[in-house]
Structure 1
Amino acid sequence: MQCPILREETDSEELSIEEEIEMCKSWKNDEDKLTFIILSKELYDKNKDEVGAMIGDINGFVHSDSIELSVMIAEKDYRKQGCAKEALKLMIKYCQIVLNFNNFFAIINDNNIKSIKLFNQLNFTITEKIEVFKQIKLSNNHIKIEDKLELNYYETNNKT
C-alpha cells in the first residue's frame, strides 16, 4: 500500500511486495482469517481482467464468539460509491450463513470519521474507546444483521 493517508486510515504498515506475498500466503492457510478482494464489476466487464478490476479488500478475523471486520477501498475513484458498505453486507451474510456467527465488531482509528459513519449505517455502535491507541471499537450489540440488511447489487444483478 503506497498511499500514506490510506495506511494511516487503515492503521497499516508499508510492506514490500515480497512481504505482501508472504502475508497473503500465511493468511491463506490461517482458518481464523478471511480475506476477499473487492472487484469493480464495471472494470471487470470492460476488460475481463480480475487483477485490473481490484479496488480493495475486506477482512474478517475470527475470534471465539465474534468476528472483527475491516474493509478498505484503495482506489480513490470507487470511494463513497457504496462499495465498502456492500462488501461488509456480503461478508456479514457469509459469516452468518457459512460460519454461523452473528456478533461482529470493528476497531477503527478514532479520527477515521468515514469508517465510523459506515459502520454506524450498519447498526454498529461505539462500545469501547481504546485511548492508548486512539481507536474505538464498534459492535453490532448482538443484532442479527441478516434480518436488517438488504443487498443492493449482488442480489439484484446476479440472478442465475
Structure 2
Amino acid sequence: MRINQNTVLQGQRVTLVPYTSAHVPRYHEWMQSEELQRLTASEPLSLEQEYEMQRSWRDDADKCTFIVLDTQRWSGQAGADEDCMVGDVNLFLTDAEDPTLGEIEIMIAEPSYRGRGFGKEATLMMMSYELVALFTWASFELQTSVTTHLLR
C-alpha cells in the first residue's frame, strides 16, 4: 500500500518500516523454512517471485505491510534495516464497502524473538496505525468520492 511507503512507526521493542526491495533477500531466506511455510500457509517462492510479491504488496490498495525491526538494534546501529529484521506485520482491508474492516497478520520469523512481546507490540502498533492513519485516509477517500459525485 503506497500510503505507508514513507512511514516509520517506532515503539519500545519494535520499529515498523515499509517492506522494500532491500528487505526481500532476508525475507526470502526466512520463507525457505518449512516451519514458517507451515505456520503462514505459504508456498516456497523463488527469489524473483519474492521480489514480484514485494512489488505487488507495495502497490496493493487493500494491503499494508511493514517489516518488524528490533528497535534497540535498529536505533543503535548505522547499518541496514536487514540486520535488525525480526518479522513482518500486514493489514488487509477486507471489505471495499467498509474501510473499517480489516485483518492483521503477524509473523515473528526469528525464533529468538518469539514469546518476548515483539509480536504483541507490533500488532498493537498496527491496530493504532489502522485507526489513525488508514481510517482517516479511507474516510478522506470516501468523502472525496461523495463530494465529487455531488458536484457532478
Question: Given the two structures, how large is their TM-score scaled by the length of structure 1?
Answer: 0.59
Looking at structure 1, the residues matched to 84 and 132 of structure 2 have their Cα atoms a distance apart, in angstroms, of 27
What's the RMSD between the two structures over aligned residues? 1.5
Give the SS at the match of 1:98: helix
Give the SS at the match of 1:57: strand
Does 2:39 correspond to 1:39? no
Could you tell me how far 1:46 is from its partner in structure 2?
A: 4.2
Match of 2:44 among 9, 14, 25: 14
Residue type matched to 2:94 in 1? H
2:5 corresponds in structure 1 to none
Does 2:119 correspond to 1:84? yes
Give the SS at the match of 1:99: helix
Q: Identity across aligned pairs (percent)?
A: 41
Higher relative contact order (CA 8 A, sep 6+): 2
- Flag as ranges the 4+ runs of structure 1 deviating above 3 A: none
Looking at structure 2, the residues matched to 69 and 50 of structure 1 have their Cα atoms a distance apart, in angstroms, of 22
Aligned length: 101
Looking at structure 2, the residues matched to 83 and 26 of structure 1 have their Cα atoms a distance apart, in angstroms, of 26
Could you tell me how far 1:100 is from its partner in structure 2?
A: 2.1
Match of 1:71 among 80, 83, 106: 106
Does 2:131 correspond to 1:100? no
- Normalized per residue, which structure has more strand? 1
User: Which blocks of at least 5 consecutive residues in structure 2 are unaligned?
Assistant: 1-30, 137-152
Looking at structure 1, the residues matched to 127 and 75 of structure 2 have their Cα atoms a distance apart, in angstroms, of 26
Does 2:4 correspond to 1:4? no
- Normalized per residue, which structure has more helix? 2
Question: Given the two structures, how large is their TM-score scaled by the length of structure 2?
Answer: 0.62
